[in-house]
Amino acid sequence: MRARRVVFLSLLTGFLVACGSTGNGADPGPLDAPDIVADVSPDVAPDVDDLQCAAEVRPTLVAPRNVIPWVRLRASGTQPSGFWPIEASDAIATVRDSLAATGWKAQIGEPSWFEMDLQPWNAAPAAVHSLSMTLVGAAPTDVTVDLLPACGTAPARTLPWADPATTLDLGDDDAGCVRVHLTAPDALTVTDVQLMSGDPRLQVPDRGSADIAPPAGRFADTGLIEGFYGVPWSWRERGNLMLELARNGMDTYLYAPKNDPLHRSQWRTPYPDEDMARFQDLAAKATEVGVRFIFGISPFIDYKVGETDYATLKDKCHQFLLAHADGIAILADDIEFAAGVTVDADLGALHVEVVNRLVTDFAASDVAIWFTPTVYSDNRAKDWPGGQAYLDAMKGLDPSVRVLWTGRNTGNVTMQASDMSAVTASIDRKPMIWDNFYANDGGDGLFGRIFLAPFSGRAPDLVQDPPAIAGIAQNLSIQGAVSRISLASFGRWREDPALTDRTVLAERGVEHELFYGYGRRRDASFDATVLQRVQALFDGSSQADPPEFVALDEAAQALVAALKSPQPFDASQQVATLIPLLGRMVALPSDLEHSGLDADLVDELAFPLVKAVHEGRRGLWALTALADKLSGVDPGSALAKVDDESQLSASSRFLFSPDAVADVVTAVKAAGATAGGVVPITPAQTTPPECIVDRPLAWKPFADATAVDVFGLPGATVDETGTIRWTATHGGRFTAVVTASRVGVPPGWAWAEAELVCGHPCW
C-alpha cells in the first residue's frame, strides 16, 4: 500500500498576514483555504520502482522484546476539558511506568484511541509481534487495532480485538505506527502496554559502565536526591540517572521520594519482593558504575517510642542492606504538621537516640548512616520557638553520621562557605548540603515548572580545600529525564566550581543528553538544537521562578516600546525579531517528537510545551491583528483568535515568561489604526507539496518576503528566494510553522501553520 497524503491544517489567516487575500485574519480551515499556487514547481522525484520495493530484504527476526519504552506515544483525551491536566492522570506516557497508581484514563462513553509511533526510531515500518494491555475498571468495547505505515496514513491492516484482556497476535506484520481504538462504557484506566517486536532494528542496547567515558575527576559525597513530592521516578529513569552520575564523576544516589508510601506514610510496611528485586538491580547498577545507593526512610511522621517501632525500622533498613544498599538515610523533614509533633530539644533527643542505635546495630555492616533533621535550614532554627534547641541536640549524633542541610533557607539563590558557620557550630560537624536549586515540587498541584537554568549561585569555597561542607547533592525535579540535563550542568560546575559561564554550563546538559537518544537516522545536530531551544524556553530554577525565555522577553519589550512611537508601522524590525521566536514555540512539540531524543524526555515535555504552543499562537495572532490595523483592515477576527489562544494557554498549568506575550497583546489592542502603513506579503503556495520519505520537496509559501524561517521540519532549509527545501527521513505527522517578514518600505509580515503527513514509497 502506498500512503500519500498531505493535510493542509490551516495556513492561519489565509496566509495570516499582513494579511492574505482576505485581509481580515480569518482562519479558513483546511477545506476553505484559498487556492493560491506559486509559479515555483516543487522538486518531484520519480516514482519508486515497485520491483525495488519488493526486493527489499527483511531482517531475520529475533526474540520479541517490549518496545514501549522507546516509541512515541500519543492519545486522545490528554488535553484539559475544564481544568488543568495532571500528568499522572492524563498522560498516555504513564503506561511506560507500569504503576497501578498512574495510567491513561479513556474518555467515558466516547470513542478513544492511543497510538505507538515507531518512525522517529526506525525510520520505516518494522515487524510487530503482539500487543497486550493491563486494564483497571470497565471492560472496553469496540476495540480494534490499526497497523499503519506511518501515523496519519491509512491503515494497512485493521484487527478486531475481541478480548483486550488477552494478548493480540499481530503476526509479525510491518507497521510504522500502531493505533488502538476503544470505547470505555465507564471509568477505565490503561496502566500498562506491551508492544512486542522481534525486529532487530528495534533492539536498543542497555546502557552500562562500558558506555561511560572516564570522567575528568571523581567527586566524593556529590550526587542527587530523589526527594521530591510527586510521582516518583520510574525504574528506567533511575537507571539512567545512575549512569549520569557516573558520567559526571559523582558518587551518591539517595532514594527518598516523599510520595512513595512505603518510604513515608506507610513506612512500617515492607516492600514487596518485586520491588526489592528492582532495588537490588538498581544497587547492582550503582556498584557497576561506581555510585553509592543510599536508601532513605522517613519514620518520624508517626513514630512511637518503644521497641516495636524501632524493631520495625531496623528490620526495614536491614532489608535494604541485604539488597546491597551502601547506606541508610533516616529522614525527619517536614513532620512538623503531624499530630503530636512539637519541634524542641526533646524531639531532637529522640531522633538522635534512634539514629545512634542504628549506627551501633549496623556497625558490623560498615554502612553509612545519614540523617535529615526536622530543622534543616537556618530560618527554621531561628523562626521556630524550639528550632535552635532541636538543632543543638544534633551534637549528640554519632560523629560518623552525615547531617543533611538545605542552607539559609529551604531554597537559596546563593550559597557560600560563610553560610555554613552557624550550622557547623550547632551540629558539631560540617553539613551535607541538600540543594533544592532544581526542585520543582513546590505547589506543583497548582502550577507546573520546568527548571533548566545552568547551575549557578554556589561559591567555589563551599567545596574547594578546605571545604566548608561534607558534600553536596541536588534534590532534582519530578521529571526524571529533565533532571539528567540539570544533573549534567551541576556536574560541570563540580568539575570547576569557579566556572560561571552559563553557555558552557548549559552545553554540558545538551552534550550529555544526546547519549540517551536513539534512531537509525537521527541527526545529532538537530537534536542538540531542539534541546537548546527547550533550555532557552525554561531558563529558571527554584529561586529564579518563573522560568524566563529571555529572547522572547527582550523581543516583546522592544516591540511594545516601538508601538508607543508616533509611527507604529516602523515596528517592522521588532516584529521581524519576534515573529520567528513565536513560530518556533508553536513548532517545538513537532520538532521534539521527530528528534532522536529519549522517549522519557519527550514525554515529560509534552504537557509543558502545550503552553509554548498556545503562547506562540497567541502572539502570532496578535501580530496578525497589528498588521490588520496598520493596513486599514478590521482586526476583530484576529483578536478573537488571540482571546481563544489566551484561554487555551490559561488551561495549561505550566509557566514561563508570563508577561511577554500578554504585554504584546495589550500593546496591539491599544495601538491606533494607520491605513497603508503595512502592505501585505503575497501568499504563494498555500498547500505544501505531497510528502514522501526520502523524496525532496520544495515549498514557497510567500512570494515577496525578505526573511523566511521554517520550524517543525527537521533539517529544512530556506533558499534566497524564500523556497523551503526539505526531505523527510521518516514518516508521520509534522507540524510546519513558517514565519515571514519584510523590513523597510513597505513593511509586512505573515505566518502559516500546516500539517504534513509523510508516507513511505514502498507501503
Whether the Cβ atoms of residue 181 and residue 114 lie closer than 8 Å to each other? no
Percent of the chain with pLDDT over 90: 79
3-class secondary structure per residue, 678-729? CCCECECCCCCCCCECCCCEEECCECCCCEEEEECCCCCEECCCCCEEECCC
What is the predicted pLDDT for the residue at 4? 31
In the numeric block, the cell 569555597 is attached to 461
d(Cα 296, Cα 291) in Å, to the nearest integer?
Answer: 16
The reported pTM is: 0.92
For residue range 88-126, what is the model confidence (pLDDT) as tens digits?
Answer: 777 888 898 877 778 899 999 999 999 999 999 999 999
For residue range 279-290, what is the model confidence (pLDDT) as tens digits?
Answer: 999 999 999 999
Residue 587: CB atoms within 10 Å = 24
CA atoms within a 13 Å half-sphere pointing along the CA-CB vector of 336: 16
Q: Say which range, 515-529, 604-618, 661-675, 722-736, has the weakest mean pLDDT.
A: 661-675
3-class secondary structure per residue, 330-379? EECCCCCCCCCCCCCHHHHHHHHHHHHHHHHHCHHHCCEEEEECCCCEHH
What is the predicted pLDDT for the residue at 52? 55
Does 753 have pLDDT greater than 70? yes
What is the predicted pLDDT for the residue at 14? 32
d(Cα 223, Cα 197) in Å, to the nearest integer?
Answer: 36
- Dump the DSSP string for 137-205: ESPPEEEEEEEESSTTSPPSEEEE-S-TTSPEEEEEEEESEEEEEEEBSS-EEEEEEEEEE--GGG-PP
d(Cα 297, Cα 264) in Å, to the nearest integer?
Answer: 6
Residues 6+ apart with CB under 8 A from 107: 76, 77, 184
For residue range 613-639, what is the model confidence (pLDDT) as tens digits?
Answer: 999 999 999 999 999 998 889 999 999
Q: Say which range, 219-228, 279-288, 744-753, has the weakest mean pLDDT.
A: 744-753
d(Cα 625, Cα 627) in Å, to the nearest integer?
Answer: 5
* C-alpha cell belonging to residue 196: 512486542
- Dump the DSSP string for 123-151: SS-EEEEEEEEEEEESPPEEEEEEEESST
For residue range 335-373, what is the model confidence (pLDDT) as tens digits?
Answer: 998 878 899 999 999 999 999 999 999 999 889 999 999
In the numeric block, the cell 537521527 is attached to 522
d(Cα 84, Cα 341) in Å, to the nearest integer?
Answer: 35
- Report phi then psi at 476, rounded to 5: -85, -170
Whether the Cβ atoms of residue 226 and residue 293 lie closer than 8 Å to each other? no
Does 39 have pLDDT greater than 60? no
d(Cα 485, Cα 535) in Å, to the nearest integer?
Answer: 9
d(Cα 266, Cα 466) in Å, to the nearest integer?
Answer: 41
Domains assigned to the chain: 12-47+530-758 (no CATH), 66-202 (2.60.120.260), 209-517 (3.20.20.80)
Q: Vertex 189, ends 272 and 275: CA angle to 5°? A: 15
What is the predicted pLDDT for the residue at 57? 77
For residue range 164-215, what is the model confidence (pLDDT) as tens digits?
Answer: 999 999 999 999 999 999 999 999 999 999 999 999 999 887 788 888 887 8
**Secondary structure (3-state) at 17:** coil
Mean per-residue pLDDT over the chain, rounded: 90
Q: Say which range, 144-153, 414-423, 625-634, has the weakest mean pLDDT.
A: 625-634
Does 399 have pLDDT greater than 80? yes
